[in-house]
Amino acid sequence: MISWTDNRDGDGGIYAQRYSSDGSAMGENFQVSNTGSSPDVNLWNGRIYTTWSDNRGDGGEDIWANVLDWNAVGIGDKDIPQIPSAYQLSQNYPNPFNPTTIINYELPIKSYVELSIYNMLGQKVATLVSEKKQAGYHEVEFYGGNLSSGIYLYRIEAGEWTDVRKMILLR
């Protein structure tokens, strides 16, 4: 998303344009406000949140905001990336597994994530993720072909949030 001010008509309006990840424009640019300067645009849960400052009143600079729905600018819901509202670690599938399983997790904000596998003695047998991840839905494949049958735990840490689940490897 790019935003700018345009004063060619003397109105100092704020405009924005949405782009896809490959850099191509999505829809037409659109006017957010007919006054103001220094726009800041954020995307969240299918809406465009724009803030700016201007001096419309007698008291000097004020901060203003506008919230637009994607559909109001002609962009369909299928184009809106959804962000989870809470941290979540899902049950792996399939479970029991042999030898591969999928683990899904959700992040409401960008976080440093560590996702590890432990045996029942508490020994770490694998680290699947150890890096900063963007907010959103994530999927990791775990290959347990080098492990023996049994119950394993997978543990995620993201920021101050932690969760643990069990999975069963049948060989």
State which of 29, 46, 79 marks the end of a domain. 79
Q: 111 or 77: which carries more pLDDT confidence?
A: 111
* pLDDT at residue 146 in the model: 94
Q: In which domain, by residue range, is 33 found?
A: 2-79
List, in sequence order, every residue forming a beta bridge with 47; answer none if it has no partner: 44, 69
Q: 150 or 51: which carries more pLDDT confidence?
A: 150
* pLDDT at residue 36 in the model: 61
Q: What's the mean pLDDT when you consider all of the chain?
A: 80
* pLDDT tens per residue across span 82-129: 788 899 999 999 999 999 999 999 998 889 999 999 999 999 999 999
CB 128 within 8 A of CB 117: yes
Are residues 96 and 59 part of one domain? no
Q: Which of 72, 74, 89, 85 is nearest to 138 (CA)?
A: 89
Residues 19-38, mean pLDDT to the nearest whole number: 69
Share of the chain above pLDDT 90, in %: 45
CA dihedral 111, 154, 102, 20 (to 10 degrees): 0
Residues 55-78, mean pLDDT to the nearest whole number: 57
Are residues 96 and 75 part of one domain? no
Are residues 112 and 59 part of one domain? no
When pLDDT is cut at 50, 70 and 90, the band that residue 8 belongs to is: low
When pLDDT is cut at 50, 70 and 90, the band that residue 66 belongs to is: low
Residues 6+ away with beta carbon under 8 Å from 20? 26
Degrees (nearest 5) of the Cα angle 19, 7, 52? 65
Q: Which long-range contacts (CB under 8 A, 24 or more apart) does 59-65 make?
A: 64/33, 64/36
The domain that holds 122 is classified in CATH as 2.60.40.3080
Q: 60 or 146: which carries more pLDDT confidence?
A: 146
State which of 20, 45, 79 marks the end of a domain. 79
State the pTM of this model. Answer: 0.56
Are residues 74 and 134 part of one domain? no
Total of domains in the chain = 2
Are residues 163 and 94 part of one domain? yes
Q: Which of 91, 95, 80, 94 is nearest to 136 (CA)?
A: 80
* pLDDT at residue 33 in the model: 63
* pLDDT at residue 140 in the model: 96
